[in-house]
């Protein structure tokens, strides 16, 4: 082996060893678990506001960015949003680590789960960036990140329809993944069920199943309308999370359906909080 190759190999092994040491550190675990709290807060706000709208108590339909703005407008919101952003960054980092290494200090992922971890890491890195924008005073309304504007830009590219269709089918894949994990109770494989009382396990099974199925519904709608935007060459058909919830409330029996989905999103928020304690990192 040449000297250059030996040095390069030593550097790679050294970097991998340093990465493994960080993954097994207490700091990494704290960041990851804080991420579940932040994720739960964001989805809890989205679900609570939608539920208030469904039952006629005010409320509104919003997305992750709107939830972060809601946090920022609370008393002490700047400090609270800083903590939420740190948590979201920690969650994104944890997902990227699981995608890259295939394991953490407590759990391991297969090939498809590693792909899902990478996609989740990207999604929450974007939400983290939105939080930083708001903290820096440059985070505008959610319309500045409109799926319609994004779809219009992509549709103008060569093969734009194929790219938007691919994004739509990817979201449908995410929806299927969420529903599969929920309905088969597979999410319990990633949970320290041996540390739970029977009652705790029952409740976490319920809120995890309901929450993941609710996410299946909203992600499925996002995927369907992205595909529709590509087929009809109409970016106005594209929707994000808030648009998917708007489609629900505007359907027949909309308030009832929105209330059910909103309750499911709140259940997912509670499940995320339970993950902060019981998830295998």
3-state secondary structure 99-147: HHHCECCCCECCHHHHHHHHHHHHHHHHHHHHHHHHHCCCCCCHHHHCH
Q: Confirm whether 4 is domain-assigned.
A: no
Lookup result for tokens 């009382």: 197
66 in a structural domain: yes
Per residue of the chain (281 residues), give pLDDT as tens. 556 665 556 555 454 555 577 788 888 999 999 999 999 999 999 999 999 999 999 999 999 999 999 999 999 999 999 999 999 999 999 999 888 888 777 777 777 888 989 999 999 999 999 999 999 986 655 545 678 888 888 988 888 999 999 999 999 999 999 999 999 999 999 999 999 999 999 999 999 999 999 999 999 999 999 999 999 999 999 999 999 999 999 999 999 999 999 999 999 999 999 999 999 98
Q: Is residue 271 part of a domain?
A: yes
**Which residues touch 41 (CB under 8 Å, ≥6 apart)?**
67, 71, 84, 269
* pLDDT of amino acid 145: 60
Q: How many domains does the chain have?
A: 1
User: Would you state the pLDDT for residue 101?
Assistant: 83
Burial class (CB in 10 A: 0-12, 13-18, 19+), 210: buried
Number of CB atoms found within 10 A of residue 73's CB: 10
Q: What is the pLDDT of residue 76?
A: 93
Q: Is residue 159 part of a domain?
A: yes
Cβ atoms of 172 and 216 closer than 8 Å: no
Domain presence at residue 164 = yes
222 lies in some domain: yes
Beta carbons within 8 Å of 129's beta carbon, 6+ residues apart: none
Tell me, yes or no, whether 255 lies in a domain: yes
Q: What is the pLDDT of residue 2?
A: 59
Q: Which domain holds residue 27?
A: 19-278
What's the confidence (pLDDT) of residue 23?
80
Residue 220 CB: number of other CB atoms within 10 A? 18
Does some domain include residue 44? yes
pTM summary value: 0.90
Strand partners, 279: 191
């Amino acid at each position: 082996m040449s000297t250059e190759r030996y040095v390069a190999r030593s550097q790679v092994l050294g970097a991998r060893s340093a990465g493994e040491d960080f993954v097994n550190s207490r700091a990494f675990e704290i960041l990851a678990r804080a991420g579940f709290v932040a994720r739960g807060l964001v989805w809890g706000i989205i679900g609570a506001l939608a539920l208030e709208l469904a039952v006629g108590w005010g409320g509104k339909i919003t997305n992750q960015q709107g939830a972060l703005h809601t946090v920022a407008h609370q008393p002490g919101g700047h400090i609270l949003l800083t903590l939420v952003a740190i948590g979201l960054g920690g969650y994104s980092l944890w997902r990227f680590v699981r995608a890259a290494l295939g394991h953490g200090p407590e759990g391991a992922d297969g090939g498809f789960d590693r792909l899902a971890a990478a996609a989740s890491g990207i999604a929450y890195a974007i939400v983290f960036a939105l939080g930083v924008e708001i903290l820096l005073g440059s985070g505008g309304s959610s319309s500045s990140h409109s799926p319609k504007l994004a779809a219009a830009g992509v549709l103008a590219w060569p093969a734009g329809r194929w790219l938007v269709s691919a994004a739509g089918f990817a979201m449908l894949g995410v929806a299927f993944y969420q529903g599969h994990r929920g309905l088969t109770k597979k999410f319990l494989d990633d949970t320290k069920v041996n540390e739970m009382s029977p009652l705790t396990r029952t409740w976490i099974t319920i809120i995890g199943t309901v929450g993941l199925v609710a996410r299946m519904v909203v992600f499925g709608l996002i995927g369907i309308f992205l595909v529709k935007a590509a087929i009809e060459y109409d970016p106005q058909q594209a929707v994000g999370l808030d648009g998917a919830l708007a489609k629900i409330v505007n359907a027949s029996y909309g308030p009832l359906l929105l209330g059910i989905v909103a309750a499911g999103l709140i259940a997912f928020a509670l499940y995320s909080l339970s993950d902060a304690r019981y998830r295998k990192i």
